[in-house]
Structure 1
Amino acid sequence: MLIQMVNILGPILAMTLIGYVMGRSSLGLETRTLSTVVILVATPALIFNTLTSLHVTPETIGRMAAAALLCLSLAGGLGLAVLLLVGGSVRSFLPPLMLPNSGNMGLPLVVLAFGSEGMQLGVAYFFVVALVQHTVGLSIYAGTLRLRALARQPLIYSVAAVLLVTWFDLPVPQILLTTTEMLGGMMIPAMLLLLGTSLASLQIADLRPALMVAVGRLLIGVLSAAIVIFVLGLSGVAAGTVFLLATMPTAIISYVFAERYQRDARQVAGSVVVSTLLTFVCLPVLVWTALEISGGGLPVSVAQE
């Protein structure tokens, strides 16, 4: 188990550290350009390639999408209750409590922990999180409903293409599979580099609210994951994947929106940093729990790597 944990956590820490060092060095990293490429190109390509080349059924996509939506709804309800109880700003701190960093940290973890099956389940979960981040999360900070933002997300068209292919069992040209495989392959390492660079640039302005949000995000993630796994009767890798993705730290996109709409951006930045560091500290326990939930072991192909 120790070797398995090292094989899972080692690459995550190494790539994040590389991004952090680059962010702190004079070389720097053009995060705006890289993040744009990841969102507009790499992520839609990964979703399309994973869910079509691995022949994921519409039922699997629907089940994981439902799990993601239910987890986010529970996290939003719990986060709102906490903020109303302590008198915190809903527009500033509900997204950090509600929206996990399922992309930068979550997907690499489920891929390393559960192999190709984790990849397909994780992608089917992640696209819902990404869409909610760029619609509901954006709307909370903007103070008005921004459903039009959905039409500008390439993710939605990628998912629509996947459903079209899977429902009608359409053949996908090899050139398209190869192209999307190559483009999608850069998403996970790029996200980890961006995570490290973001940690190097963000600062903790006020430790108390940052620590409260960080602890709240972790506890809300664990609770929402446990409820959803029980309610939907999930088991095996699906349950482990939902647990990992739901318990990830505060999403960096929350800081981006907070800064754009001037909603306590410095405090939100601090919550991202502290939440991420807290999750890194808890990663061995989180990964061990996910493995136990899934059945207590890794796929043979992953264990042999």
Structure 2
Amino acid sequence: MMTQMMDILGPIMVITAIGFLLGRSSIGFETRTLSTVVILVATPALIFNTLTSLDITPETIGTMSSAALLCIAISGALGLLVLVMARSSVRSFLPPIMLPNSGNMGLPLVLLAFGPEGLQLGVAYFFVVSVVQHSVGLSIYAGGLQLATIARQPLLYSVAAVLLVTWTDMPVPNIVMVTTEMLSGMMIPAMLLLLGTSLATLKVTDLRPALLIAVSRLGLGILSAVFVIAFLDLDGLTAGVVFLLATMPTAIVNYVYAERFQHNPRQVAGSVVTSTLVTFVCLPLLVWTALGISERGSGADAQLSQAMTRTETSLGATYTND
């Protein structure tokens, strides 16, 4: 098990550390250009290539999309309650609580833990989270629906193309598949480099809201995953992927929008850093739980509940020891 964990977590830690060192260095690593390429080119290419080159059905896409939407909705509803009780800014901190970093950290983890089949399911989950991030999340920070900005997202058109191909069995030209495969290959390492660079450059200016968001994101991610797995009767690989992606830390794009619309950007930046560090500490336990869930298969509600209880107990012990 230790070797398996090192094989899964090792590459993620190393590439993130490289990004961190680049962010700390004086070479002038251009993150804005790289992030733009990832959003406009690599992400749509990965979604299209992965979901059309592998044997995925509309039913599978529907299942993963439903799981993602439910996890976001549950985290959002409970997160709203947490923020109201804590008298914190809903407009600033609700997106960081409800929207996980299923791209930068989630997809590499899913690929290393579950292989190409897991990545296929993970991409189907990720594109829903990404669409919500760039529509609902953007609109919350902007204070209103930004239809023009949303319509310019290439991600939406790649999703539409995937649905068209999967529903009609339309053949995709080989040149399109090869091109999107080459372009999508840059996404995962680029995302990890950006994650590391963000950790090097973002600062924690106020620890209280940062901890509130970090603990809420992880705790509500676990709760939403437990509910959705049981409610949708998920099992095996699907359940493992949903659990892992639902428990990812706060998405970096929340800071981008907070800075753009000037809603406590420094505090949101602190929540990104703190949430990511908390998740990194808990990552071996989260991956172990996800692997255990994926191996149990169907009809394992009792075992799933026990696994969740062990995870929450261990996490509680971690926070207590800290």
Instruction: Check if 1:229 corresponds to 2:229.
Output: yes
Match of 2:94 in 1: 94
1:254-275 per-position Cα deviation (integer Å, ceiling 9, x unaligned): 1111111111111111010000
**3-state SS of 2:171 partner:** coil
Match of 2:54 in 1: 54
Rounded Cα–Cα distance in structure 2 between residues aligned with 1:293 and 1:258: 35
Q: Is the 8 A contact 2:107 2:119 kept in 1?
A: yes
Instruction: Check if 1:116 corresponds to 2:116.
Output: yes
**TM-score between both structures, scaled by the size of structure 2:** 0.91
Rounded Cα–Cα distance in structure 1 between residues aligned with 2:232 and 2:145: 29
Rounded Cα–Cα distance in structure 2 between residues aligned with 1:36 and 1:296: 40
Rounded Cα–Cα distance in structure 2 between residues aligned with 1:129 and 1:279: 18
Rounded Cα–Cα distance in structure 2 between residues aligned with 1:258 and 1:116: 34
Rounded Cα–Cα distance in structure 2 between residues aligned with 1:129 and 1:78: 17
Instruction: Check if 1:278 corresponds to 2:278.
Output: yes
CA RMSD of aligned residues (A): 1.0
Q: Is the 8 A contact 1:55 1:166 kept in 2?
A: no
1:23-54 per-position Cα deviation (integer Å, ceiling 9, x unaligned): 00011311110001000100000011001110
Q: Is the 8 A contact 1:34 1:190 kept in 2?
A: yes
Match of 1:12 in 2: 12
**3-state SS of 1:295 partner:** helix
**3-state SS of 2:145 partner:** coil
Shift of 1:252: 0.5
Rounded Cα–Cα distance in structure 2 between residues aligned with 1:230 and 1:148: 38
Match of 2:77 in 1: 77
Q: Is the 8 A contact 2:235 2:296 kept in 1?
A: no
- Aligned AA for 1:34? L
Count of residues paired in the alignment: 297
Match of 1:303 in 2: none
- Aligned AA for 1:148? A
Structure 2 stretches lacking a partner, 5+ long = 298-322
1:165-221 per-position Cα deviation (integer Å, ceiling 9, x unaligned): 111111111111110000001000000000000111000101111111111110010
Shift of 1:159: 1.0
Detail structure 1 runs of 4+ shifted over 3 Å in the superposition. Answer: none
Match of 2:64 in 1: 64
Q: Is the 8 A contact 2:102 2:245 kept in 1?
A: yes
Q: Is the 8 A contact 1:12 1:192 kept in 2?
A: yes
In structure 2, the CA distance between the partners of 1:296 and 1:186, relative to structure 1 (3 Å rule), is farther
Match of 2:135 in 1: 135
Rounded Cα–Cα distance in structure 2 between residues aligned with 1:87 and 1:112: 40
Shift of 1:296: 6.1
1:248-297 per-position Cα deviation (integer Å, ceiling 9, x unaligned): 00111111111111111111110100000000000000000000010169
- Aligned AA for 1:22? L
**3-state SS of 2:29 partner:** coil
Q: Is the 8 A contact 1:136 1:146 kept in 2?
A: no
Alignment of 1:1-305 (within 5 A): 1-295=1-295
More moved, 101-110 vs 24-33:
24-33
Rounded Cα–Cα distance in structure 2 between residues aligned with 1:106 and 1:149: 25
Rounded Cα–Cα distance in structure 1 between residues aligned with 2:113 and 2:107: 10
